[in-house]
Structure 1
Amino acid sequence: MALAKPRTLFLIVFLGCVGLMGVALYLEHVVGLEPCPMCIVQRICLIAVGLVSLVAALHAPGGVGRRIYSVLMVLFAVAGAGTAARQVWLQSVPPEQLEACLPSLEFMMDALPLQEIVRLVFHGTADCAEVSWTLFSLSLPEWSLLAFLGLILVGLYQLFRRRV
């Protein structure tokens, strides 16, 4: 039994990504939680998954096209899951073992080469390890990791499904 038509499933993924970005923006602008650089990378990955899904839903491709969109979706979701997993790990490290803080992402983009920015962002700081909000005892990076794992599963389902 098929879960849903590929086009419908891509549209559901897009709407889910829009909803998750809405929650992230609500937490930032209404609740006042400032996103760290790793959170911003996760947002970029989520937006990329959403855009790939939107284009796939609008395009309604056949088998090969569906697989190409699914691979792109899975790659962006894996990048987001990796970033979220790294942040979850950082939250388990004692704060005194982490660097104090990073300059703002805007400053780093202006002053440093991309390779150095990536290294600094993924090295992590105490800002990225701080747990400032939880829901059902899970921090934002843990929720983000769960969301990305769900997106990976949907992408893999789309990739390996037999019938359209």
Structure 2
Amino acid sequence: MTRRSLILLAGLGSAGLLLAAYGFEYIGGLAPCAMCLWQRWPHMAAIALGALGAALPSTLIAVLGGLTMLGNAGLALFHTGVEKDWWEGPQSCTGAAAQDLGAMSAADLLATDTGPRIVLCDQVSWEMVGLSMASWNGLACLALALIWFAAASRNRTIG
């Protein structure tokens, strides 16, 4: 495959993962936690790099795409560790610290239909074969990083 083809494949891979995340959210009803949202940003950057790389398939763009996916894999691994209690996560989205109940009125606390929906980063909303969405995203990001770096190693070819 040419560098351009690999860049497009990697960018489309991020687009597919991002669409899947939105599908889980809007069709499946699984609201994302803060760390889930963080993992969407590198995919957005990779999509932009893929579009740019389609027009200008340079080594620099491919390397940046690979680094973006490695960073996202790191975020996903960190999130997986938080979910599995391997280490502490940000206090803003884990455990009781995420719920600032003192700032809520009694009516808000008792509301069953309009109250805030707090999604904790240390709770797994969905998993398949023992791996959470964060874990699957991390594995996918590693695979996409390999594609980006394969694109970077290709001689510049137009086509």
For residue 152 of structure 1, the aligned residue among 145, 151, 155 is 145
1:72 aligns with 2:68: no
Deviation per CA, 1:61-92: give whole Å up to 9, x if none: 3xxxx210012102211221111010011111
Letter in 1 for 2:125: S
Percent identical pairs in the alignment equals 31
Specify whether residues 95 and 71 from structure 1 end up closer, same or farther in structure 2 by C-alpha distance, changes over 3 A only: closer
For residue 85 of structure 1, the aligned residue among 77, 82, 93 is 77
1:100 aligns with 2:74: no
Matched pairs, number:
134
CA–CA distance in structure 2, aligned partners of residues 154 and 9 of structure 1: 6
1:27 aligns with 2:24: yes
Q: Where does the alignment leave 5 or more consecutive residues of structure 2 unmatched?
A: 100-118
Question: Which protein is richer in helix relative to its size?
Answer: 1
CA–CA distance in structure 2, aligned partners of residues 22 and 43 of structure 1: 10
Task: State the structure with bigger RCO (CA 8 A, min sep 6), 1 or 2.
Answer: 2
Matched residue, 2:36: 39
1:11 aligns with 2:8: yes
Alpha carbon RMSD of aligned pairs, Å?
A: 2.4
CA deviation after TM superposition for structure 1 residue 150, in Å: 0.8
Matched residue, 1:113: none
Specify whether residues 76 and 96 from structure 1 end up closer, same or farther in structure 2 by C-alpha distance, changes over 3 A only: closer
CA–CA distance in structure 2, aligned partners of residues 95 and 72 of structure 1: 29
CA–CA distance in structure 2, aligned partners of residues 48 and 69 of structure 1: 11
TM-score normalized by the length of structure 2: 0.74
Q: Where does the alignment leave 5 or more consecutive residues of structure 1 unmatched?
A: 104-125
Matched residue, 1:128: 121
Native 8 Å contact 1:100 1:127 kept in 2:
no
